[in-house]
């Protein structure tokens, strides 16, 4: 069992409130009548374990959670090949560069690319 608690009765959404996709996803999920637990990654810092668990649930490497096209990433960093621990530290220090929203329900986790991806849960 991981550090992230999930339930089949609600959807947990990790999101950046500045993201248009996240905003639309939350609106869509609420309109569909889902019970939502919202986690604003800018206000509620993720632990390294949570970041690693999210990447594992998504069948991705931690480095793939970093949006290297994000303006903040381009401003602060150059493309590199870091260790997993370094990627985790980077996300923890700069949560806005994490690809999101990420939605969880029970054992299912989805990186939301369009608001309707929430229906995959």
Q: Looking at the domain assignment, is residue 3 inside a domain?
A: no
Task: Say if residues 80 and 90 touch (Cβ distance below 8 Å).
Answer: no
Q: What pTM was computed for the model?
A: 0.93
Regarding beta strands 11-15 and 102-105, do their DSSP bridges make them parallel or antiparallel, or are they unpaired? antiparallel
Question: In the prediction, which pLDDT does 110 show?
Answer: 97
pLDDT tens, position by position, 23-78: 999 999 999 999 999 999 999 999 999 999 999 999 999 999 999 988 988 888 88
Residue 80 has pLDDT above 80, yes or no: no
Q: Looking at the domain assignment, is residue 6 inside a domain?
A: no
Q: Looking at the domain assignment, is residue 88 inside a domain?
A: yes
Q: Looking at the domain assignment, is residue 92 inside a domain?
A: yes
Least confident stretch, 10-24, 69-83, 101-115: 69-83
Q: Looking at the domain assignment, is residue 4 inside a domain?
A: no
Q: How far apart are CA 40 and CA 101, in angstroms?
A: 10
H/E stretch holding 105 reads strand 102-105
Instruction: Give the count of domains, the chain.
Output: 1
Q: Tokens 């905003």 sit at which residue?
A: 23
Query: Which positions ≥6 away from 8 have C-beta within 8 Å?
Result: 105, 106
Residue 41, by phi and psi: left (phi above 0), alpha (psi -120 to 50) or beta? alpha
Q: Looking at the domain assignment, is residue 105 inside a domain?
A: yes
CATH number of the domain within which 114 lies: 3.40.30.10
Q: Looking at the domain assignment, is residue 50 inside a domain?
A: yes
Residue 15 belongs to domain spanning: 11-120
Task: Phi first, then psi: give them for residue 13, nearest 5 degrees.
Answer: -120, 120
Question: In the prediction, which pLDDT does 17 show?
Answer: 97
């Amino acid at each position: 069992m991981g550090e992230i608690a999930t339930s089949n009765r609600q959807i947990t959404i990790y999101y950046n409130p500045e993201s248009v996709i996240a905003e639309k996803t939350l609106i869509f999920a609420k309109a569909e009548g889902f019970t939502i637990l919202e986690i604003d990654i800018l206000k509620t810092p993720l632990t390294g374990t949570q970041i690693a668990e999210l990447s594992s649930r998504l069948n991705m490497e931690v480095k793939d959670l970093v949006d290297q096209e994000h303006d903040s990433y381009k401003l602060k960093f150059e493309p590199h090949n870091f260790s997993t621990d370094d990627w985790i530290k980077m996300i923890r220090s700069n949560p806005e560069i994490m690809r999101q929203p990420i939605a969880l329900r029970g054992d299912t986790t989805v990186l939301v690319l369009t608001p309707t991806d929430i229906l995959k849960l």
